[in-house]
Amino acid sequence: MKFVDEFRDPRLIRQASEEIRRLADPSRHYRVMEVCGGHTHAIYRFALADLLPPNIELVHGPGCPVCVLPMGRIDDGLSLVDRHGVIFTTFGDVMRVPGRRGSPLEHQARGAEIRMVYSPLDALKLAREHPDRQVVFFAIGFETTAPSTALTVKRARELAVTNFSVFSNHVTILPAIRAILDSPDMRLDAFIGPGHVSTVIGARPYAFIARDYRKPVVIAGFEPLDLLQSIVMILRQLQSGRAEIENQYNRTVPWDGNLPALRALADVFELRPYFEWRGLGFISQSALRLRPDYAPWDAEARFGVPGIQVTDPKAAQCGEVLKGVLKPHQCKLFARECTPELPVGALMVSSEGACAAYFNYVHRRSAATAG
Amino acid sequence: MCLAIPGQIVELASGGHLATVEVSKVRRTINIDLLEPPAAPGEWVLIHVGFAMSRISAEEAAEQLRLLAMLGEDAQAMAELDGYRFDEPLGRRPS
């Protein structure tokens, strides 16, 4: 419990931890999935597992956008630079994700025009500054970032910017949760719902998880106390045989979500019939592409992409880790061939990836103790 | 990319869409089209990739800053905020 003292209110943390021990039935094993990569990061950073009894297992979910992106999409995006000479822009998290012939950062080092941006609006600005060049924004993220891409595309249309387009890899969280619930090896008891995605979609769309699958969902904030309280709420539901959607992050998540954001999404995007998720395979209606009305700003419609399929390196077990079947350190490559400095799989790239979080907070710490 | 950065709105831009926010004495321009009802100066918001996504209280903003520091993401958050360039007139940062 070495981190307890730096928590905002250590007394409340201890109380929540004790309440969890009191509520947990010692004859049961609980498997609770935290869907969001931000939660995964916080759980490892604060060593929250140390505050839980051993029969409560936290399973890391698919809510890390770069982690679930198939390698072929990186290659498809980079093909636009090689074949069409576009300026490729994307968020920092994507820059180090390996493609078959290197990451965007490595392409940049070889002289390709690849720019990191902090906002899709920065990519649009770049296009306006370079009217003689095509600028592509490699868009990625769940419902937290998709509305920003949507508004940027609308802005490009308003300003009649014709040299800007979006290569959309936006995905939606609910079909992935459904796919996990439908998978035959599913042994989850409950979900900690994502905080920031839910500020956009609200709490209401999770209702099917409680209604059809009888699993509790508690949407949680990111502080250690938020996460512990959400586990208390989950255990109370399980103990009384309830399956409900509860909102621990009430202060920021409205029940109906962010309406202007939902309107922007509906206006600009439509669901793809199916999309590949790394580790989870093809999931129907799980990703967003631009509507035909916005085809001039859709990089896939404008340029066409090869549709590269890449099988992950055989030894890497990203899929098993993503599904929660393996813990990060149980992968054969973990901390050997695959490290945050030289990642093989995307789970080792992003701070929200389970492998990077495990490496930085558990592996390094135990290595330091051992040394 | 999924960082949520708290900021206080200090001024609304005249053309709509944008506002100036202040975080730890750094002032930057963000987009406020996703706030309904529209934002007002003095309010605190959570910012994702240049867009205000939700309103928060001053206390929650302070908690969020503290959380970012504890997660080791505060420098990254400030770099992101400092990196937004979409408000500047065209051509000011030729590259």
Tell me the residues of chain A between 31 and 70 that have a Cβ less than 8 Å away from chain B: 37-38, 41-42, 45-46, 65
Give me the number of domains chain B comprises.
1
Domain ranges of chain A: 4-63+174-240, 67-172+257-303, 318-363
Instruction: Classify residue A99 by its DSSP letter.
Output: -
Crossing angle of helices A120-129 and A146-158, in 10° steps, is 30
Instruction: Classify residue A315 by its DSSP letter.
Output: T
3-state secondary structure of A191: strand
Rounded-to-integer distance, Cα A330 and Cα B6, Å: 37
Tell me the residues of chain B between 32 and 51 that have a Cβ less than 8 Å away from chain A: 33-36, 46, 48-51
Q: Which helix (H) or strand (E) holds B39?
A: none
Per-residue pLDDT of chain A (371 residues; tens, 9 = 90+): 445 556 778 899 999 999 999 999 999 999 999 999 999 999 999 999 999 999 999 999 999 999 999 999 999 999 999 999 999 999 999 999 999 989 999 999 999 999 999 999 999 999 999 999 999 999 999 999 999 999 999 999 999 999 999 999 999 999 999 999 998 878 899 999 999 999 999 999 999 999 999 999 999 999 999 999 999 999 999 999 999 999 999 878 999 999 999 999 999 999 999 999 988 889 999 999 999 999 999 999 999 988 988 887 778 888 888 877 889 999 999 999 999 998 888 899 888 899 999 999 999 888 877 65
Q: What is the CATH number of the domain that holds B49?
A: 2.30.30.140
Q: What's the pTM value of the predicted model, to 2 decimals?
A: 0.94
Cβ contacts of B56-65, under 8 Å, gap ≥ 24? B56/A251, B56/A252, B56/B6, B57/A251, B58/B8, B60/A251, B60/A252, B60/B6, B61/B6, B61/B7, B61/B8, B62/B6, B63/A8, B63/A223, B64/B4, B64/B5, B64/B6, B65/B6, B65/B23, B65/B24
Range of the domain at B58: 5-83
**Would you say residue B94 lies in a domain?**
no
**Would you say residue B91 lies in a domain?**
no
Please state the ipTM of this predicted complex: 0.93
| Chain A residue whose CA is closest to B4 | A196
- CATH for A67-172+257-303, among 3.10.110.10, 3.10.20.30, 3.40.50.11740, 3.40.50.1950? 3.40.50.11740
**Would you say residue B95 lies in a domain?**
no
**Would you say residue B88 lies in a domain?**
no
Å from B12 to nearest chain A CA?
18
Which structure tokens are listed for A26? 């010692």
Residue range A4-63+174-240, CATH number? 3.40.50.11750
**Would you say residue B90 lies in a domain?**
no
The gap from C-alpha A30 to its chain's centroid, in whole angstroms, comes to 23
Contact A153, A127 (CB under 8 A): no
Do A4-63+174-240 and A67-172+257-303 share a fold?
yes
Contact B83 A352 (CB under 8 A): no
Rounded-to-integer distance, Cα A257 and Cα A267, Å: 16
Tell me the residues of chain B between 52 and 71 that have a Cβ less than 8 Å away from chain A: 53-54, 56-57, 60, 63, 66-67, 70-71
Rounded-to-integer distance, Cα A222 and Cα A364, Å: 23
Rounded-to-integer distance, Cα B13 and Cα B9, Å: 11
Can you say whether the dihedral through the CA atoms of A210, A328, B3, A68 is positive or negative? negative
- How many other CB atoms are there within 10 angstroms of residue B85's CB atom? 20
